[in-house]
Every structure is written in C-alpha cells, then in structure tokens.
Amino acid sequence: MGDRHKVAEQLFTVQIYTPNSDLAAGTQISQVIAARTGNDTLLGYQPISGVPNLPQIDLFIGDVTIEDPASRQWSDTFVFGDYQQAYYDNGNPQILGLNDFGFVGDFNPAQDFIQLNGNANNYQLLDVGVGSAILQQDQNGVDVVGFLLGNSNLNLASNYFKFEGNTPPPGPVVPKAQQQGTAGFDISVRAATDTSGNVYTAGGTTGSIGKTNSGLSRDGLVTKYDSQGNVLFTKQIGTSSFDTVSNIATDAQGNFYVSGITAGNLEGTKQAESTDAFVAKYDSSGNQVWLEQFGQNVIFQAFGLDVDAGGNVYVSGLDVRASEDLATDNLWVSKFDTNGSQQWFTEVGSVDNDFDESYDVTVSSDGSVYATGWTLGDLPRIDSPGSFQNAGLYDNYIAKFDNATGQAQWVKQYGTPDYEWSWGVDTDSQGNVYTAGWTLGTLGDENKGSYDVYLTKYDSEGNQLWVKQFGSAADDEGFDIFIDQSDNIFLTGYTNGNLEGINAGSFDAFVTRFDTAGNQIWLQQFGTSKFDQAYGVTSDAFGNLYVTGVTGGSLGSLNAGSFDAWTAKLDATSGSLKDFSGNGQTVSLASIPKGFASSAPATRPVSGEQADYIGDFFQQFVTGTLGLSPDSGGPSGRGLEPLVSNPYGGQPPTSVPEPSAGLGLLAIAGVACIRRKLQARSKAASKARTRASAQ
C-alpha cells in the first residue's frame, strides 16, 4: 500500500464489534469502528479538551454483514454529539475542522440515525458529489463535524437526524439507582459483592473519576459501594493508552480481582502487538496486591474471570494471530494462584483454524473449570474422535477443563442455521453448568422475531438437560448469568421490545430469575427514553440482587454528558427495585458548555469558497480512500497536504497528518478482508448444511 499506508496502519486501529446490538464505543483518537448485524449505536469521539487542533478522524461502518439467513434490516445510530457538546468540533478553524470529523461509510436514511447536539439551526448540510458534509456553525464560522458517504439531498428536518438539545434527558427515572458519569464515556460491565454486602462494579471511563485520566483514551474503573449505595472508593486503572476492566470477582477475605485489556504497559512491557490481557488482585481498601500483564501474537484480551474458595484465579479470553487472510483467533483459559503465579495456560482452536473466542469462565465447587463463548469453525470434540459440524455460522460452545493441569476434558458446540452468541456461564451447587446469551434462530422455543434470550443447562459430563428461549418481537439479548447459594438463577441483558410492560423508548435493561428446572419466576424491565443496557448481575448473602450497565439517559440521576454507568439494587425474591441511592451524590465531571447551541439561525452561512474547499477535500479523501486512483495524493503527490493549507492566505495552519489519507483504505481493506474470509467460511457452512439435508 505504500509507505504512507504503512504509517496509517501504525496510527489507526480497526475495531470489529460483535453481531449483537452493540454499543460500539471507540478506544483510540483515530479509528475505524465496524459493527456487524444488529441495531448498533456507534460512538468514536474521545474527549480531548485542552488539546486544541488534535487530529481525530473516525470512520464508521454500521453493518458488516457476513451472511444473514433472514435478510434482516438493521437500524444503526451514529453519535456525533450529546446534550452537552458537539463531537468533532475541536478541529483547526483555519481549515474548517477538516482534521477532526466522523466519516460514516454506510448511512441509510431509511433506517439509520445521526445523533447531534443542539438543534437543526446549529448545522448545515453540504452536498459535495461523493456525499454530504455535516457542518456545525456558530458566530465564529463553520466546522465540519461529519461526512455521510454516498448521501445527498438530506434534510435536517427529517427524523433521521436526532437532536439532543442542550439540557439533560429528563429524570431520574429510577431514583433508587446509582448513576456514575463524566462528560466523557463511562460504562460498567460487571458487578460482585463481598461477605459484608459491599458492592463492586467494574468497567471504564474516558473521564476522571478515581484519578486524572492517564491519557487520551479509556481507563479501567472500579467502584466500591456499601449496601445502601454510598460510594466507598473509586479506583481508576490506566496507562496513556487504552485500558479497560472487563470483569470483577471477590474472595472470602475481602480482596477483589479484576481482569481486563491494556494497550499500554500496566506492568512491564506490552507483549502482543496491539493489546495485552491483565489480571490483578486488590485488598478491600483498593490497594494493589499484584498485577500480571501477559499477551502474545497480535491481539490478546481477557474477558472471563472467577475465583475459587482458595483464592485461585481463572481467566479466559481470545488470542488473535496474523494469517494470510488477515487474522484468526483461539480461545484460551488460564489459572493463577492467589499470589499471581500462573499455574497453567490452555488454548483451544477449531480444526479449520477459524475464529474461536471465550467471554466467560467459572469454577464449580468441585474445582471443575468451564468456559463459554462462540466459534465460527468446527471445534474438536476432545472426549471422542473428530470434530463438531458448525450449524450455521456463529455457534456457541461450553468447554470443561481439569483444574490441576488445564487440560480440556470435553467441548460441546451447539447452534442453529442462524446466529448464536454465548456471553455467560455459571454453576449450581450440584455441579450443573448453565450458559446464557442470545440467538437469532430457534435454539429452544420458537423464535419470537429477532434476537431472543436463551438459557441452557448441562450436567457435569456435558449432557444438555434443557434449553429455555424467550423474547419479544423486537431485539432481546442475554448478557450475564449469576447463580446464588440457593441455586436461584439470575440473568440480565437488554431489550428494545416489551418483555415485561411497555418499553420506555429505546433499549431497556432487564433482569430475570429462573429456578433449576428452567421455570421463569419473575422478570423486571426498566429504562429511560434513551439508550439503556444491562451487562452484569450478582447477588449478596442477604437477599439482594445488583445489576449494572450503561445509559444515555437520566436513570438514577441526571446524565453527566454522554453515556454513564449505573447500578441498581433489586429484591432477589420478588424482583422489585430497592433503594441504592446512598447519599444521592453522582460522581460526575463538570459540564463542558460549547456556547454555540442556539435556536437562532446561523449568522455566518458557508461561503462559496468554503464550500469548494470542503468539496475538494472530500472528493480527494474519498477518491484516495477507495483506491480509485493510483495515487491518493494531489497534483504534487503529497497526499492531502495541498487540501489543508490555508485557503485564505497567510501562514499555513497545522495540516491533517499524512496517515489520514490512508485511513479509509486501511479500514475498507481490513473490513473487506474480514468479510471475504467470513463469507468463504459461510459458504462452506452452507454447503455443509446442504449436504446434511440431502443425506
């Protein structure tokens, strides 16, 4: 691709999200964010106040569809602002902000949305032949904040533009809950309790809650509450690069443990090319006891975490390796003792070297270790000759490992001709093991119309005992499972339908309880008119249940700016919400008012010279991006440099960095390569299904 694009590979990351309905949040200053199937919300902006004119160009692809057996239509929302601030308005004013914008590659006005700060009077649309530029305007002029490839004749008054205004979303809707946020992006993904009834939540923040953010990206975040919801401490974990906490657990001595992902050097030097996994132990006051960072190959990440009665720690995740067709990955499981010494590491991959990933791990009372996740391939049977036959494309699996050696004892792969995804695993007191996730097919009961939640039960030998599937006609997804000491099974996730009552307006959180026979005891659904999802569930020894997640609304208190974390307390017996408001103080960063959002018409419309300048820029950007010309540069062969010199005379401003010319090429090449590989895998699976049906 040339030296220019080699630099681009070093400076821009490609992030491929899941076939869930994701909150696809970026992790870097400039990146490619590609979602797959699902009703996704894509957010790339990183708050960089105090660093004027810093280039930030994010490219969004909402639907990387591999094979959708039902040819469904998905609605994506691209977030270019919240009620406090317009995103991508930090660019160089001398070049109309063209070093700082979001670029949407597949906006469909018939089903997708663009979310913006303020109201329609704060923006203009400019058709430039290859698409439409979104211009934010105020008394100081115009700033390009977005570009929609291949779109023209759009109208700011149409409902595909969603304006957030300049006041917080109404609320709180659930004043009994805790909401934690900054003006940046804040998320909580898992929760745990200790023997005293204290509650720990884990996730990440681009703001400063526990300390000043360590860089221009996300830090990991742990918050400890007492049982009433009073904040005991917040701990922010990070380097100058991307860091996040993906799971949390506690032991009987009051210590807590976290697993996560780092793109920096949390403990020693990063070992993988992109990201490493880490696991750490802290005492009850939040003091670090030890931290182990480890990795290999290209991308190495940890998601699953559990701790046994002896304080041994179990972690699982994925290991991405480079190959001729971009990449493949294996699932892995590892055990550490209570002092942080690694006891074993086991990696499992499909026989055809495909994609295999683990998102959760658990250890039973007898010491058996179980991991779950998904596979695109055919996993080995382990306990018998041969391998499984992938049922469609995304299949789920559950695997059992020996505690002493880490050797895989058996693997069970299951799925339908449609998509499945397993997020959580836990065991009961009898040694049975349960997995939870979602399916687009009929895994148990008849599919209700789109994503359905499922719950499966296996015995310790890997025999499936039952499958329960439930949902609405809309999008319902299970995300985490927790089984308490009385063998009550709790499952949490999110829905944009009506699982229990009327949906509040977008995605709502839900939590439900089952018994070990698969009977659903109760289901609680709650949310704001904005985006709400639940990701983690746990309980204490006193009959309380805790659920945690993310909201774009004012769930427990007024929204702090973008997406906030939240935690709610419920009665484990009835499912009713309980008071967890504590002292009612939300951890939040002061707002960042921009001062331009007004209902008054624009005072300085775009001039013809500015319009030509913007049009020339995007014509060149798109032409070079798509590789339609042999040289992505201008007449002088200097890439985008001729387009970002000062068009109005005087000293040239800070230009767009040369790598931005290769950003889209890298994205499209990378995503296309992934698409080709997965389509080839899909065709092979389709042929296998055809052969099976003919037999």
Task: Reduce the secondary structure of 63-103 to three states and give it as a string.
Answer: CCCCCCCCCCCCCCEEECECCCCECCCCCCHHHCCCCEEEE
Which residue's entry shows tokens 């182990």? 292
* Residue 607 DSSP class: P
Which residue's entry shows tokens 């009987």? 252
Backbone angles phi, psi at 358, to 5 degrees: -115, 135
Give the whole-angstrom CA distance, residue 617 versus residue 606: 15
Q: Which two tokens stand for residue 556?
A: 């427990």
Q: Exposed e or buried b for every residue in 469-507, given b needs 16+ CB within 10 A?
A: bbbbebbbbbbbbbbbeeebbbbbbbbbbebbeebbebb
pLDDT of residue 383: 87
pLDDT of residue 92: 79
Residue type (1 letter), 142:
V
DSSP helix/strand/coil, 153? coil
DSSP helix/strand/coil, 674? helix
Stretch (H or E) spanning 401: strand 395-401
pLDDT of residue 625: 53
Give the whole-angstrom CA distance, residue 450 versus residue 39: 11
Nearest Cα residue to 352 out of 389, 320, 398: 389
- Which residues are registered as beta bridge partners of 182? none
CA of 119: how far to CAs of 80, 115, 159, 181, 276, in Å?
Answer: 13, 10, 12, 24, 42
List of residues 6+ apart from 637 with CB closer than 8 A: 631
CB 32 within 8 A of CB 12: yes
* Residue 168 DSSP class: P
Give the whole-angstrom CA distance, residue 225 versus residue 456: 32
CB 349 within 8 A of CB 356: yes
Stretch (H or E) spanning 620: helix 608-625
Which residue's entry shows tokens 């319902």? 476
Total Cβ atoms within 10 A of residue 636? 8
Task: Reduce the secondary structure of 188-244 to three states and give it as a string.
Answer: EEEEEECCCCCEEEEEEECCCCCCCCCCCCCEEEEEEECCCCCEEEEEEECCCCCEE
Which residue's entry shows tokens 């382990």? 382
What is the separation, in whole angstroms, between the first and last Cα of the chain?
47
Residue type (1 letter), 183:
A
pLDDT of residue 629: 36
Total Cβ atoms within 10 A of residue 138? 20
Q: Is the dihedral of CA 18, 23, 27, 31 positive or negative?
A: positive
Give the whole-angstrom CA distance, residue 515 versus residue 538: 16
CA of 217: how far to CAs of 206, 260, 318, 408, 536, in Å?
Answer: 6, 15, 22, 37, 23
pLDDT of residue 64: 81
Number of H-type helices and E-type strands within the chain: 3, 41
CB 247 within 8 A of CB 199: no
User: Which bin fits 389, alpha (ψ -120 to 50), beta or left (φ > 0)?
Assistant: beta
Nearest Cα residue to 314 out of 262, 288, 289, 279: 279
CB 528 within 8 A of CB 581: no
* Residue 590 DSSP class: P
pLDDT averaged over 10-residue windows placed end to end, the chain, 695 residues: 31 79 90 92 79 82 74 91 91 86 94 97 94 88 92 97 97 96 94 98 92 82 98 95 96 98 94 96 98 96 98 97 80 99 97 93 98 96 89 94 98 95 98 98 92 98 98 96 98 96 94 98 97 98 98 96 96 97 58 40 73 91 56 32 32 29 39 48 45 39
Nearest Cα residue to 126 out of 659, 611, 695: 611
339 burial class (0-12, 13-18, 19+ CB within 10 angstroms)?
exposed
DSSP per-residue codes, 376-399? SS--B-SSSSSB---SSSSEEEEE
pLDDT of residue 485: 95
Q: Are strands 464-470 and 508-514 parallel, antiparallel or unpaired?
A: unpaired
DSSP helix/strand/coil, 439? strand
- Which residues are registered as beta bridge partners of 68? none
Which residue's entry shows tokens 């979104």? 134
CA of 520: how far to CAs of 120, 446, 574, in Å?
Answer: 46, 17, 12
Give the chain's domains with CATH numbers.
Answer: 3-166+597-685 (no CATH), 178-578 (2.120.10.30)
